[in-house]
Amino acid sequence: MWRDYFGPGCRIADIDIDPACAAFADQDISIFIGDQADPKFLRHVLEQTGPPDIVLDDGGHDMRQQIASFETIYPRMRTPGVYMVEDSVTSLWGGSSADTPDGTTFLDRAFACCVALHGWTRNPHAFRRLGTPPAERKGVVAVSEFCATTDAIAFYDSVVVFERKARQEPWHEAR
């Protein structure tokens, strides 16, 4: 289905814990058998495949899996790119947050990403400087790598989508 959707030349890397899935590998589809909650395994996959353009996480539904995958893969993706997490509703079902050391859910982490996205504007002093054209500004406002490489986060029923795109410090023209 995905090969048909993305067209000829697309390369697909699939991660699954079921060894039987390896039977679906072919010249354009690589199958990696392992646990998506294991950052070391995920880094190994990325070493083999290179940085992805698109990630569709429809794998495990516990918080360790969703969080480990996002935190390991997202910073290593190409820019521009898209990272989608399906079944994010499992964050609301309770119990699964006990899987993480700090008790947070994937939706908790996604909300923290929303806050990080506002790196240039959440400080009132930094926000005031946005009325000055970039070439006339003194200094820079340091923001996280996440803020500098994420254009948008969209929440849908059971899906969270992160759009990677290089961003420059914004400015608004006062008229």
pLDDT in tens, 12-56: 999 999 999 999 999 999 999 999 999 999 999 999 999 999 999
pTM for the model stands at 0.91
pLDDT in tens, 76-113: 999 999 999 999 998 888 756 566 778 889 999 999 99
- pLDDT the model gives residue 96: 60
Domains belonging to the chain, first-starting first, are: 54-164 (3.40.50.150)
Cα–Cα distance, 68 to 27 (Å, whole number): 28
Half-sphere exposure of 69 (CA within 13 A, CB side): 25
Catalytic residues: 61
Reading phi first (left if > 0) and then psi (alpha if -120 to 50, else beta), residue 114 is in: alpha
